[in-house]
Structure 1
Amino acid sequence: MIALIQRVMSASVTVAGARIGETGPGLLILLGVEKGDDRQKASRLCDRVLGYRIFSDDQGKMNLNVQQAGGSVLVVSQFTLAADTQKGMRPGFSGGAEPAEAEKLYEAFIGCCCEKGVATETGRFGADMQVALVNDGPVTFWLQV
């Protein structure tokens, strides 16, 4: 399971011209699900993402996680994170989870965020989405379990 996390001032997701999710200061989480991923991995990745200290403290050091910084999250499914890009000029997607399984694990990840008390907005699984963001820093990390 893969999370590309970006510290943002704001982020939103739009489907068919309608804004369906947005966040103020916090994290945009692009989530990719691979074959072999399970609920345990979703929970571990959720804990890691929410605990990752990428927000500045009073001394300007990255010592705070999203909750400590008072931020929220926008979680967007992104199957292309599971792409094989090692050779050729076209990505391969055989490493990605089947859509039904990926959706279950996407929902499990979102549930974990909510259970931990983090204000959570989402995209729509499987939809053609337009994602807008104002990256803060820029600060972007790739986390994988």
Structure 2
Amino acid sequence: MNVTLKVNGVAEHFAAEPHELLVERLRDGLGLTGTKIGCDTGQCGSCVVRLDGKSVKSCLVITVAAAGSEVSTIEGVAGPGGELSALQEALRQEHGTQCGFCTPGMVMALGELVESAAGAAAPTEPEIREWLTGNLCRCTGYHSVVRGVQRACATSRQEG
């Protein structure tokens, strides 16, 4: 099937097999390897991307079902000069990454939370941890990730 997606702001046109997963298209078809394949069952969150602004696990999305949508991957998060987003910088400052395998999926999922908190009350620690339930990490213990989200939310409120 012929599919058109807007990926990180660029229109992509290609033929896709009916069973092709979005994570496969991103990694193998478009070379966007920041989106990781972990469990292949939607449990680990390493493949999270934004589909029309909402966090989704791309290992559970059939590419043809996403036709006509906008997809944002970790490669599209940094600014035009390569500057880190507020969330990426906050995670760096709070040591919220270690091996880094889960980081792209966490940034994509948590970015939605940080954006939704802009101009509103900062999410509480339990709310952040609830948001994280779909993203597994073996290294950080999540404490540093939570602090990073809190820092990013505070930065966003100051800049907003």
Which band: TM-score by shorter chain? under 0.3
Larger Rg belongs to? 2
* Structure number having the greater helix percentage: 2
* Structure number having the greater strand percentage: 1
Instruction: With the length of structure 2 as denominator, give the TM-score of the two structures.
Output: 0.26
